[in-house]
Amino acid sequence: MHEASTTAVIQRYLDALPGDPAAEPVIRDLLERAAGRLRLLCANLLYRSYPRLTRPPVNLEADDLLGGVVAGLLKALREVRPQTARQFFALACRHMRWQLNDLARRLDERPAAAALPESGVAAPPDSTGSCLTPDGHRVLETIDGLPEDEREVFDLVGIQGLTHPEAAAVVGVSEKTVQRRLNRARLLLAERLADLRPDQESGDSGQEAEDTPAS
């Protein structure tokens, strides 16, 4: 379904949501109609930002994440009433990040020496890390701390992988507005994470590489 058409359909369901327990059938219909775009968002976020979770021992797939997100939204929508499609998908994206961050944290906490190769010698640490380094967690927290408009657009374009027209359809603004907000988000992130960048004034490139935190 076309992005604009999907947004219009979702908006109609949101407008039809009653403010009492009778909303359950409408919520289920809403989630069913939104499933296609939710799956796309799940796949984009999983494979672009959390690829380690797609490999052993987690072996997470987009449909697995989608199932958890739908279950979380079903519960959340019993108490929260998004007024627009934009608010609905922002809520969905938060649930995606919560679930992925929780899985990443639990994977980080697994004992590193638990797995042994067939030779019986301990395998070297995964060069990619278990999933997210402390700096990686900090980056995600910094993204969450962006102003709402900038965070939403950066999430859709920078993390979810939507194109500018797709993000504009979800948010309900022009592509130029998407670009402006994305630029502001990148500037704010560059300022707040400046200490994670190599020292541009240092003449010792080897020392720069050694002192720069791994991401």
Confidence of residue 198 (pLDDT cuts 50, 70, 90): low
Which strand (E) or helix (H) includes residue 76?
helix 62-76
Q: How many Å apart are CA 175 and CA 40, to the nearest integer?
A: 20
Position 63 scores a pLDDT of 94
Average pLDDT, the chain: 79
Instruction: State yes or no: pLDDT of 66 exceeds 90.
Output: yes
Position 126 scores a pLDDT of 41
Record the tokens describing residue 100, joined without a space.
Answer: 């992925």
Confidence of residue 150 (pLDDT cuts 50, 70, 90): very high
Confidence of residue 69 (pLDDT cuts 50, 70, 90): very high
Instruction: State yes or no: pLDDT of 115 exceeds 70.
Output: no
Instruction: Assess if CATH 1.10.10.10 describes domain 3-110+131-197.
Output: yes
Instruction: State yes or no: pLDDT of 148 exceeds 80.
Output: yes
CA-closest candidate to residue 130, choices 100, 108, 110 = 108
Give the residue extent of every domain in the chain: 3-110+131-197
> Across residues 175-204, what is the average pLDDT?
81
CA atoms within 13 A on the CB side of 208: 10
pLDDT in tens, 119-144: 333 333 443 334 456 777 788 788 88
